[in-house]
């Protein structure tokens, strides 16, 4: 049976020692986030993840969801009760403003506990996860009346949310979408069309489901310029807030899919359903982007989460499983063979995942903190820089953490040999679950294009310059620190590769856009490698400081440094390969005629 233990100590190390959360207690919501409070929250989240969500992960995968004849959907046994506990614990409103029933705590804390929930049970966690995105969109674009009608129940978790973009003929290219919105005399709309692949589209875990739906108002322009966003509740809501008639939105089918079986992925049919526009006419995509950006960070976190839990299982198996003898002499003479953890190739796999995941955790929390600063700071410059960096990091975080989350689930499965391919160990589920995170919320190829085609040049490259400066300054400030040289030196080299690749795009992609497309995935990973290297350098500095101050937990910090050095030695040098590939341009890639493939 699989195991999972939430990495509480690591989270606290990052929040307290690396990011120094207490330095931000001038921001609203942070004044309550004292180290004691953080520890209590993170500890409670760990308990919920380990004891309530995790035990339902395998069974949820095996049972899946069923669509019944009356178009209702049954979720796996225990999911509703676990979801209710999740809501009762206040986890749905952790970082939502108090005026809508939330606790107003930092988003970075919400992110920290979100990792545990997704590691424990990704399919189940998606139900409240989608609601978070819907809440964010209503908070930013909803009218006061819409906020008052929908938010308190959604924040409490009594109502859930969904996002409806995809249609049978369009996923990436939303300009093609056909769902129609017919204006009514009372200001509402009649929504008609079909959406597919809608996560948490139908289920009985909440009293109401608030669908956020992209549709084209009759007569609106073709393409993305004619798309608006609508709130379409499953049950209409009266002026007194009471639930009224069932709206004409139904689940037509459940998709049979590779993983996340416990989450209901639905075909949703809208047959003149009543909808209410949210945000301006024809500006639906930018309103939906609030939800998508929030969701992209959540999906990146899923990649990290699956990598972590897959790693924990692989490490535990590698300590137990005995096969062969160590190359450097017998390590367990009392046994007939050594545990496979003695073999360098098994260690390569384990440390590859561990060194990535620990830096990935710091990366997600660092990015989430930028989001807090962007939304809560009173200092205009600080706010702007944080917002720039958040926008730049969103596609990198989503693309890199999910590409690697899947690779690492496979790598961890490999540690189990044939036993990893057998369902009972749970490794197959991790591989299957991790795969979708590379696809939804914008396939990773699209994240890479967003980074290179849009984010890089935005505002004259302001965001990218800010990140280069932050990393460059760190290397410079710590240049004389002998204990950090094994981190700052390779980091500087990686940064040079990244800057050279950025320059190459500036010189070669304008005139020949295929050069940008050809190098975009390599660039996204090159950027990710450097940012994770930066996270390692920051973690190494914090670990060194703890060791110098005579910590009683020297093993933890020494192991942190060993793991970080592995990253710097064995993973970060990949920046040179990525840069070389980018500079090779698009010629060989575009030369062959389509029919020759
Ligand atoms: C389990 C599951 C849950 C989902 N949940 C939701 C949900 O809740 N709500 C929702 O609205 N959608 C959801 N989706 C849909 C998902 O977001 C889309 O599948 C995804 O955006 C890709 O769209 P597509 O499948 O139409 O692929 P396509 O857009 O057809 O893309 C196919 C391939 O071509 C590439 N491609 C496309 N255009 C370009 C381009 N211009 N340049 C380079 N490459 C390109 C893509 O990267 C991709 O690899 C879900 C999907 C699944 C499978």
How confident is the model over 479-505, as pLDDT tens digits? 999 999 999 999 999 999 999 999 999
Q: Quick check: 424 pLDDT over 90?
A: no
pLDDT band at 150 (very low <50, low <70, confident <90, very high): very high
Centre of ligand 1 to C-alpha 439, Å, is 6
Give residue 510's pLDDT.
86
Asked if residue 135 lies in contact with residue 154, where contact means CB atoms within 8 angstroms, the answer is yes
The average confidence (pLDDT) of the chain is: 96
Q: Quick check: 286 pLDDT over 90?
A: no
How much is the average pLDDT of 24-45?
A: 94
pLDDT band at 243 (very low <50, low <70, confident <90, very high): very high
Q: Other C-beta atoms within 10 Å of 144: how many?
A: 7
Kindly report the length of the chain.
597
Q: Quick check: 291 pLDDT over 80?
A: no
**Candidate of 123, 129, 166 to mutate for ligand 1, largest count of ligand atoms within 8 Å of Cβ:** 166
What atom of ligand 1 comes closest to residue 172's alpha carbon?
Answer: 29
- The per-residue pLDDT for range 199-239, each reduced to its tens digit, is 999 999 999 999 999 999 999 999 999 999 999 999 999 98
Q: Quick check: 157 pLDDT over 80?
A: yes
Give residue 265's pLDDT.
98
Give residue 294's pLDDT.
79
| Residue 301, CA atoms < 13 Å, CB-side half-sphere | 29
Give residue 215's pLDDT.
98
Give residue 235's pLDDT.
98
pLDDT band at 288 (very low <50, low <70, confident <90, very high): confident
- Residues 98 and 95: their CA atoms lie apart, in Å, by 9
Q: Out of 156, 441, 470, 482, which one is annotated catalytic?
A: 441
Q: Provide residues with CB under 6 Å of ligand 1.
A: 163-166, 171-172, 197-199, 257, 265, 436, 439-440, 442-443, 445-446, 449
Centre of ligand 1 to C-alpha 501, Å, is 28
What pTM value is reported for the model?
Answer: 0.97
- Residues 277 and 262: their CA atoms lie apart, in Å, by 31
Residue 382 annotated among the catalytic residues of the structure: no
Give residue 355's pLDDT.
98
How much is the average pLDDT of 35-44?
A: 96
How much is the average pLDDT of 149-153?
A: 97
Centre of ligand 1 to C-alpha 172, Å, is 5
Give residue 404's pLDDT.
98
Q: What is the DSSP string of 86-148?
A: HHHTTGGGTTS-GGGT-----HHHHHHHHHHHHHH-HHHHHHHHHHHHHHHHHHHH--HHHHH
The CA distances from residue 196 to 148, 263, 543, in Å, are 29, 14, 48
Q: Quick check: 390 pLDDT over 80?
A: yes
**Candidate of 196, 253, 443, 445 to mutate for ligand 1, largest count of ligand atoms within 8 Å of Cβ:** 443
- The per-residue pLDDT for range 516-537, each reduced to its tens digit, is 999 999 999 999 999 999 999 9
């Amino acid at each position: 049976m699989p195991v999972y233990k939430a990495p509480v100590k690591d989270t606290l190390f990052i929040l307290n020692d690396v990011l120094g959360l207490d330095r931000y207690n001038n921001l609203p919501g942070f004044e309550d986030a004292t180290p004691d409070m953080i520890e209590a929250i993170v500890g409670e989240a760990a308990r919920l993840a380990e004891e309530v969500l995790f035990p339902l992960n395998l069974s949820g995968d095996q049972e899946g969801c069923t669509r019944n004849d009356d178009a209702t959907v049954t979720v796996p046994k225990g999911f509703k009760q676990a979801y209710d506990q999740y809501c009762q614990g206040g986890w749905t409103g952790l970082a939502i403003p108090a005026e809508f029933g939330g606790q107003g705590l930092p988003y970075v804390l919400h992110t920290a506990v979100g990792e545990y929930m997704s590691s424990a049970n990704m399919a189940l966690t998606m139900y409240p996860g989608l609601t978070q995105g819907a809440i964010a969109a209503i908070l930013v674009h909803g009218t006061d009346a819409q906020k008052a009608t929908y938010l308190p129940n959604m924040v409490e978790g009594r109502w859930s949310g969904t996002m409806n973009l995809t249609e049978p003929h369009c996923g990436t290219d939303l300009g093609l979408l056909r769902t129609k919105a017919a204006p009514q005399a009372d200001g509402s709309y009649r929504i008609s069309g079909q959406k597919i692949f809608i996560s948490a589209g139908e289920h009985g875990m909440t009293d109401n489901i608030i669908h956020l739906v992209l549709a084209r108002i009759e007569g609106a322009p073709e393409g993305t310029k004619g798309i608006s966003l609508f709130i379409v509740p499953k049950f209409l809501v009266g002026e007194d807030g009471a639930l009224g008639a069932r709206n004409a939105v139904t689940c037509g089918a459940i998709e049979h899919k590779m993983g996340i079986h416990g989450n209901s992925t639905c075909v949703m049919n809208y047959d003149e359903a009543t909808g209410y526009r949210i945000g301006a006419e024809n500006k639906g995509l930018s309103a939906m982007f609030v939800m998508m950006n929030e969701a992209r960070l959540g999906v990146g976190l899923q990649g990290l989460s699956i990598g972590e839990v897959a790693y924990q299982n692989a490490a535990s198996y590698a300590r137990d499983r005995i096969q062969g003898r160590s190359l450097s002499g017998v390590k367990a003479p009392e046994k007939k063979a050594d545990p496979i953890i003695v073999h360098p190739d098994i260690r390569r796999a384990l440390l590859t995942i561990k060194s990535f995941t620990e830096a990935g955790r710091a990366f997600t929390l660092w990015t989430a903190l930028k989001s807090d600063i962007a939304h809560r700071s009173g200092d205009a410059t600080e706010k702007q820089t944080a917002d720039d960096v958040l926008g730049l990091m969103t596609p990198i975080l989503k693309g890199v953490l999910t590409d690697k989350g899947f690779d690492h689930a496979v790598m961890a499965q490999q540690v189990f040999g044939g036993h990893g391919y057998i369902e009972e160990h749970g490794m197959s589920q991790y591989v299957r679950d991790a795969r979708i995170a590379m696809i939804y919320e914008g396939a990773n190829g699209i994240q890479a294009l967003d980074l290179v085609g849009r984010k890089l040049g935005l505002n004259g490259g302001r965001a990218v310059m800010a990140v280069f400066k932050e990393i460059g300054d760190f290397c410079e400030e710590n240049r004389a620190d002998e204990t950090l040289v094994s981190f700052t030196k390779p980091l500087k080299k990686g940064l040079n590769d990244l800057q050279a690749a950025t320059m190459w795009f500036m010189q070669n992609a304008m005139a020949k856009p295929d050069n940008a497309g050809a190098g975009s995935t390599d660039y996204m990973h090159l950027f990710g490698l450097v940012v994770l290297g930066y996270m390692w350098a920051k973690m190494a500095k914090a670990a060194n400081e703890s060791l110098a101050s005579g910590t009683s937990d020297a093993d933890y910090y020494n192991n942190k440094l060993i793991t970080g050095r592995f990253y710097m030695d064995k993973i970060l040098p990949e920046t040179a390969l990525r840069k070389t590939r980018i500079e090779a341009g698009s010629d060989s890639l575009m030369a062959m005629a389509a029919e020759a493939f």
